[in-house]
Structure 1
Amino acid sequence: MFMEKLFKLQEHGTNVKTEIASGVTTFLAMVYILAVNPSILSAAGMNPTYIFTATCVSAGIATLCMAFFANYPVALASGMGLNAYFAYTVVPEIVKSGVTNAWQVALTAVFVEGIIFILLSLTNFREKLVNDIPSNLKHAITAGIGLFIAIVGLKNAGVVTGDKSTLIKFGSLGTPQVALALLGILIVAVLYHFNVKGYILLGILITWVLGMIAQATGWYVVNPKMDMYSLYPSFSFSSLIPKDGNIWKFDFAWAGNNLLQFAIITFSFLFVDIFDTVGTLIGVANNAGLLDENGNLQNAKGALLADAVGTVFGSIMGTSTVTSFVESTAGVANGGRTGLTSVTTAILFFISLFFSPIFLAIPSFATTPALVWVGLLMLQNIKEVDFSHDIADTVGAFLAIIMMPFTSSIASGIMWGMISWVILKVITGKAKDVKPVMWISFVLFALYAVKLAMAPAA
């Protein structure tokens, strides 16, 4: 049988029916990204219709790569956290320098990061890079990203808003966006408790439907000047045809003229991508019984290469970093064990190309429950952080966690977490604990910190 030879189904104790059902389950668990990603990246000035197409196609291609490069039941798409970093940190910082096409510069950084990741995936240096970063920092960075994503979601719905005295405050509960976003979070929590498949997507859709009811009753009033658009999807023949206009939209000139800043942006994308990928792959592979007797990933090179190729392809199409999704564990829990699960998920992403009117009509307040819930899941890594032992580990992890949400920058969290960790290791007489990767990171971030210090005050 063709499927048996290609994916070794019997060897993995599975069959075609189970694999296809598992692929559908994985898709339902992560399809919310098709609504969330255009919502987030459009804040960077990008066309949401083009982003939707890029998200679907890059997810499909990257997931197929995972199926055929590693035979893993793992699906990929534009990564949460990395897309928010792209839209809310990288692009605004570049805009400050007077660049009008800032999102093209950010895409360039994603492209370069993907190329570097491909090279690392073909060597053994990737393991050294992963192992030489202190575990406290790795877990703290993931937790910090979780808080960052949650705040982005709350801000998009107006649940938290700016305040001159306290910087931020609770929004107006009388507005439908705030009330429905908070209700949506509770809906997702209830669906999760009762193990409902596709609970995040379902939570988004229920919140959206409640929004349409609010519009029908006059509570939600359409006002484009206040960024309050109609919540009803608009169907037409032309809207069902995939559209893309962001292919190969790179700006290498700015990168060459601002090499240090571009290197920081690229390094931050790479750092988060690698650890997000490795952590997800190990978690999913462990649940699927794909780790060897020493706890190492089988076919690790193929899996990492699929992730890296997905990132490069995604940047060419016009979307942020593509990475492995932890939601793949939903398919594994359903019995998925091989790349056939991934093939199924990839096909569904391609089919989704023709449903853009639905996904693009979903308002940002309806995607808030997804962002907050993903933030909650990532914040759970804080349980693995040791705050009771080494002062460098303690302070480095703490700064990494708090700097991300409080400065609205993933890069700031990574930078100050690493800088403080190295400095405290040296001061406390433990310089021998600092591995080469950490020294390189320290020098890179220290140079950038000096540049920031010398820049004129805004």
Structure 2
Amino acid sequence: MTKAASETKKVNAFDRWFRITERGSTVGAEVRGGFTTFMAMAYILVLNPLILTGATDVTGERLSLVGVTTMTAFSAFIATVIMGAIGRVPLALAAALTVNAVVAYQIAPHVTWAQAMGLVVLEGILIMILALSGARTAIMNAIPRDLKYAIGAGLGLFIALIGLVNAGFVTRRPDSDGTTVPVVLGSGGELQGWPIVVFLIGLLLMIALWGRKVPGAVMISIVVATVLGIVIETVASPGGWGLVTPTVPERIFAAPDFSLFGQVDLFGAFTHLSIVTVIVFLFTLVLSGFFDAMGTIIAVSDEAGLVKKDGKMPGMGLVLSIDGAAAAFGGVTSSSANTVFVESAAGVGDGARTGLASVVTGSLFGLAMFLVPLAAVVPQQAAAPALVLVGGLMCAQMRHIDWTNVEISLPAFLILAITPFTYSVTAGVGAGIIAFVLLKAVRGKWREPGWLLWIVALVFVAYFGINALGQLG
């Protein structure tokens, strides 16, 4: 065989594996789409560390900012390349904003970080089992579609509130000197200081760029706000930035920090919490990760022309299994559960149709591991606008809820209100499901929720009653 013939054969094998020609794409289009997806979701390298390092575990310990940033990039690198090379679809994965907030603000305060990440690993394993066994269909059917929308929107409100609090735009009651309202504007009821100015400029710029559909709008705004923060800190030294003070980094490149890799206590949470509490935490993690992944995979794949007329996508089981494995791997790296990012649609819109685009995106995350010093100078005020924007976009799911049906509207409202007000996704989801089955029962429709949802509701009743039962005992 001649050298030319051999090279042609390799190219053909490469093309066949990724189905580039079959899906009407080109290598150039896939590379371009991969870059676009990375630019659209690169903000997670800033936001995930911001969320995870903004909370403390039961011992008062915080995760390392540099370590979390490295692990966020590394985890996204491995998960996305595998999805591209094996799943062969243009779907990129990284730490899920709907899960990391649950891990940081709901689970970590009750256990150690290693134990919290152990629950993330178990979540990923459960998602894989659900994907492979077909049980996902039963769970999907058990929870009403409208309540799923409410859960997604409630998470959006939660994430947006975290962004506002991290930026200092609002202050939660425990931090506001005995005020009698849940949150107050700024500090003591008014906005003060240059850091708030940076947040407001970053937010307005991000909204403007997003409205103009500028590619990489989120990342561009974070960079601009960070540069503005560095200039202000250099000239005025106002302080008040929180966890990170924006200063010119001493270096751009640095060796990755893998110190958090493998810091997992798989079953330690069971020794600190009741079995019911652990089950509810796991249920919340699975709920947050599993359904978001399903919706995103279908939506992005449909846009890429990979969904058949019957609404099914070939290879869905494999894609969901990879998503579950990626979630578990996120726990192993202490970067929280990975999931498919809806920003993958940006790459699809720019021509991506195959897994080659994901390989490109993943490789860029791999390169980002060596640029951690740049991410480590981003103040909360520069990154928080992305939380507000993403949270607001997630709230768009509310439009699908049937607000005219009291059996849906009241449970949905409880989910939407309780989730951000209590800083607890579990509390919001639990209240909504209990209200749903109760309303069905009192209206003579107790069979409609199905036995599985009744069991879930009883688990939540036990969860809310744990403290009272403990006092009775």
Please, what TM-score do these two structures have when normalized by structure 2? Answer: 0.91
In structure 2, how many angstroms separate the alpha carbons of the residues matched to 1:433 and 1:229? 51
2:255 to 209, 225, 241: 241
CA RMSD of aligned residues (A): 1.7
Conserved? CA contact 1:233–1:357, under 8 Å: no
Compare CA radii of gyration and give the structure with the larger one.
2
SS of residue paired to 1:361? coil
In structure 2, how many angstroms separate the alpha carbons of the residues matched to 1:79 and 1:309? 14
Conserved? CA contact 1:222–1:228, under 8 Å: no
| Residue 207 of structure 1: aligned partner | 225
Conserved? CA contact 1:81–1:148, under 8 Å: no
In structure 2, how many angstroms separate the alpha carbons of the residues matched to 1:230 and 1:318? 24
In structure 1, how many angstroms separate the alpha carbons of the residues matched to 2:358 and 2:451? 37
In structure 1, how many angstroms separate the alpha carbons of the residues matched to 2:440 and 2:82? 41
| Residue 287 of structure 1: aligned partner | 303
Shift in Å, 1:241: 0.1
| Residue 36 of structure 2: aligned partner | 25
In structure 1, how many angstroms separate the alpha carbons of the residues matched to 2:445 and 2:245? 59
Which residues of 2 match residues 383-422 of structure 1 at below 5 A?
383-389=399-405, 391-422=406-437
Shift in Å, 1:65: 2.2
| Residue 179 of structure 1: aligned partner | 197
| Residue 7 of structure 1: aligned partner | 18
Shift in Å, 1:165: 1.8
Conserved? CA contact 2:329–2:337, under 8 Å: no
Residue-by-residue CA offset, 1:14-68 (whole Å, 9 max, x unaligned): 0100000000000000000001111111123111111112111111111122213
SS of residue paired to 2:314? coil
Conserved? CA contact 1:144–1:379, under 8 Å: yes
| Residue 86 of structure 1: aligned partner | 103
Which residues of 2 match residues 57-456 of structure 1 at below 5 A?
57-92=74-109, 94=110, 102-162=112-172, 163=176, 164-171=179-186, 172-218=190-236, 220-222=237-239, 227=242, 229-236=244-251, 240-251=254-265, 252-258=267-273, 259-389=275-405, 391-454=406-469
Shift in Å, 1:144: 0.5
SS of residue paired to 1:243? coil
Conserved? CA contact 1:148–1:405, under 8 Å: yes
Amino acid at match of 1:155: V
Conserved? CA contact 2:437–2:449, under 8 Å: yes
In structure 2, how many angstroms separate the alpha carbons of the residues matched to 1:394 and 1:229? 41
In structure 1, how many angstroms separate the alpha carbons of the residues matched to 2:272 and 2:170? 37
In structure 1, how many angstroms separate the alpha carbons of the residues matched to 2:398 and 2:284? 20
Amino acid at match of 2:24: G
In structure 1, how many angstroms separate the alpha carbons of the residues matched to 2:194 and 2:468? 42
Shift in Å, 1:456: 6.0
In structure 1, how many angstroms separate the alpha carbons of the residues matched to 2:243 and 2:80? 35
In structure 1, how many angstroms separate the alpha carbons of the residues matched to 2:47 and 2:345? 20
Conserved? CA contact 2:193–2:238, under 8 Å: no
| Residue 64 of structure 2: aligned partner | 47
Q: Return 5+ residue gaps in structure 2 as ranges.
A: 1-10, 56-61
Conserved? CA contact 1:50–1:244, under 8 Å: yes
Residue-by-residue CA offset, 1:56-105 (whole Å, 9 max, x unaligned): 1111111122213321101000001211121122222x0xxxx5xx2222
Aligned structure 1 segments of 4 or more residues deviating by more than 6 angstroms: none
In structure 1, how many angstroms separate the alpha carbons of the residues matched to 2:195 and 2:107? 27
Change (3 A) 1:80 1:257: closer
Conserved? CA contact 1:29–1:197, under 8 Å: yes
Amino acid at match of 2:88: N
Q: Structure 1 residues 127-136 or 20-29, which shifts more?
A: 127-136
In structure 2, how many angstroms separate the alpha carbons of the residues matched to 1:139 and 1:230? 37
Q: Structure 1 residues 276-285 or 168-177, which shifts more?
A: 168-177
Conserved? CA contact 2:98–2:289, under 8 Å: no
In structure 2, how many angstroms separate the alpha carbons of the residues matched to 1:40 and 1:173? 22
SS of residue paired to 1:161? strand
Amino acid at match of 1:261: T
Amino acid at match of 1:281: I
In structure 2, how many angstroms separate the alpha carbons of the residues matched to 1:326 and 1:233? 32
Conserved? CA contact 1:29–1:330, under 8 Å: yes
Residue-by-residue CA offset, 1:308-330 (whole Å, 9 max, x unaligned): 11111111111111111000000
Conserved? CA contact 2:234–2:247, under 8 Å: no
Change (3 A) 1:435 1:69: farther
Conserved? CA contact 1:89–1:409, under 8 Å: yes
Shift in Å, 1:268: 0.5
